[in-house]
Amino acid sequence: MFEELKRRRFLFEELVKRDFKKKYKRTILGMGWSMLSPLLTLLVMKVVFENFFGRNTAHYTTYLFCGNLLFAWFAEASSGGMMSLYYNAGIFTKVNVPKYLFLLSGTVRSLINFALTLVLFFIFCWLDHVDFTWRFVLLVYPVVTLFLFNIGVGMVLSALFIFFRDIDYLWRVFLQLLMYGSAIFYMTDGFSPKVKFVFACNPIYRHIAYFREVVLGAAAPSLETHLTLAAFAVAALLSGALMYKHYNTKFLYYV
């Protein structure tokens, strides 16, 4: 795969550039929307939920920002990945290129958008008087695992969408449920052990919790947490790779 990426480097770079141009075409702010959009969402959530959940919580806005930052990245990467094969059918039905390149280009674009927002997040942490410690370096780990997880989920969704267009509508509903189930705006301390176990099985929540533990708790997450995030990423990648390998030749007949 890596050798193939090296050989197709020019095509891959052009796909990433095309995705950026397409996303921000005819917009006044352009890439500024990558930073403004999560800020507007954060503002709305702060106004709506602060009086209900954040009155006794220190740095509640930063707590919200952690959740919204990672969930927005996953939602953008997975939704874009779902459409990657369908939107590029005009290319791979005429030219023999690896189909995963289209998914990777969109996922890299979403990673760049996330990186821009992450810079804003760090500035916001400084303004909110959050203590910066050496443990902030550990944030690289959940970024890598979530990036790999996004690739895997995108591969699964893009393959399913080719055969079942209903996946688009079902995924939108699922993302809404996932948002409410990822403890973005509320705490999980008061829930029963059984409910906490359900949260622990949610990959997005586990990545959000990692960020919060480092940023707000100034602590290094446990080895179990690191292994769990890696397991989520590997499971998603293997599932996506198997689907692409199994249905690779069938995609041409359904697009």
- 202, pLDDT greater than 60: yes
- Entry field: residues in the chain: 255
CA 145 to CA 225: how far, in whole Å? 12
Q: What is the pLDDT of residue 152?
A: 95
Q: What is the pLDDT of residue 182?
A: 93
Q: Which of 34-38, 56-60, 144-148 has the lowest mean pLDDT?
A: 34-38
- 20 or 154: which leads in pLDDT: 154
Whether 136 and 215 have beta carbons less than 8 Å apart is answered as yes
Rg (CA), the chain: 19
How large is the average pLDDT for residues 68-84? 92
What does each C-alpha distance from 23 to 16, 109, 153, 154, 239 come to in angstroms? 11, 10, 21, 18, 28
Average pLDDT, the chain: 84
- 87, pLDDT greater than 90: no
How far apart are the two ends of the chain, measured CA to CA in Å? 24
- 208, pLDDT greater than 70: yes
Kindly state the percentage of the chain with pLDDT values over 90.
42
How large is the average pLDDT for residues 224-231? 97
Angle at 65 between CA 60 and CA 69, to 5 degrees: 160
Q: What is the pLDDT of residue 21?
A: 65
Q: What is the pLDDT of residue 199?
A: 93
Q: Count of CB atoms within 10 A of residue 130's CB?
A: 17
